[in-house]
Amino acid sequence: MATTRERIHEIIFEADTRAGKAFDIALLVAIILSVVIVMLESVRSLDARFAEEFDTLEWVFTGLFTLEYLLRIYVTNKPLKYIFSFYGIIDLLSIVPSYIGLFVGGAESLLVIRSLRLLRIFRVLKLTRYVGESNQLISALIASRRKILVFLFAVLAVTIIMGTAMYLIEGRKNGFDSIPHSIYWAIVTLTTVGYGDISPHTWAGQLLASIIMILGYGIIAVPTGIVTSEMTKKHNTSNTKVCQNCNEDYHLDEAKYCHHCGKRL
């Protein structure tokens, strides 16, 4: 019995063996299909025609995911650790709404939580060499997190001040009916989205809006500059030199000696 349990554990939790990989991909396909069904179910015209089919498929996937959830608890040595892990909670949340829906109406809409299971895709991607690329992207973002935070704070400060000013200038009659709403408008404008659901009507408002737009058009250069500069720095040291003396692995391409301990590379 233990062998079966171990084998199931290997298939479900590992991703390096052939069976584990196949299971992960099959699971991913099932998740994508179930998410697509939840999506299509939300389209009124489709729901009217295929209500029954959606319902059946819904229960098939709920059954499969419940089975998978129970199996995961059964085969793991530390069930509590899995249950309260990030994926464990998402796995549970993705099946619970269906059962709640039996007793309470409207709970089906919570099924969209299931889309969070799509995050499992990253586990499958881990198998591929895409991981190196996404690691590079993520490490560039992490390395510049403080600069990005300062930038975000500056953006928030600008939108709060500008939004408040627009509330005073344009006022309720032109759609700027509260300060939070005006700040929302300022964000819409600064990020160059520009829905146009609210737009300035007075010349002073249009002047201020123009300033916000040019500001937004210009300061988009800042996050771009941050990330680009971080990425350029990265690939400046895209070599694989490692100092044999101190294990330092970050060297300039033209380095001949370790900058950390002075030994020849």
Mapped onto helix, strand or coil, the DSSP state of residue 256 is coil
Binding residue for a second copy (CB under 8 A) from 51, 130, 139, 142?
Answer: 130
The DSSP call for residue 264 is: B
Verify binding: residue 202, a second copy, rule CB under 8 A: no
* Minimal distance, residue 24 CB to a second copy, in Å: 16
Handedness of CA 31, 34, 37, 38 (dihedral sign): negative
Nearer to a second copy, 71 or 148 (CB): 148
Nearer to a second copy, 56 or 228 (CB): 228
Furthest CA-CA distance within the chain: 79
Q: In the window 25-44, what residues touch a second copy (CB under 8 A)?
A: 35, 38-40, 42-44
Beta bridge partners of 135: none
CA 154 to chain centre: 23
Q: In the window 45-74, what residues touch a second copy (CB under 8 A)?
A: none
CA 196 to chain centre: 28
Which amino acid type is present at position 5?
R
Binding residue for a second copy (CB under 8 A) from 142, 168, 204, 244?
Answer: 168
Nearer to a second copy, 75 or 140 (CB): 140
* Minimal distance, residue 76 CB to a second copy, in Å: 26
* Minimal distance, residue 208 CB to a second copy, in Å: 11
Task: Using CB atoms within 10 Å of the CB of residue 157, give its burial: 0 to 12 exposed, 13 to 18 middle, 19+ buried.
Answer: exposed
Binding residue for a second copy (CB under 8 A) from 67, 121, 142, 204?
Answer: 121
Nearer to a second copy, 75 or 169 (CB): 169
Q: In the window 231-250, what residues touch a second copy (CB under 8 A)?
A: 231-235, 238, 248-250
* Minimal distance, residue 45 CB to a second copy, in Å: 9
Phi, psi of 103 (to 5 degrees): -100, -40
Q: Which of 265, 235, 29 is nearest to 132 (CA)?
A: 235
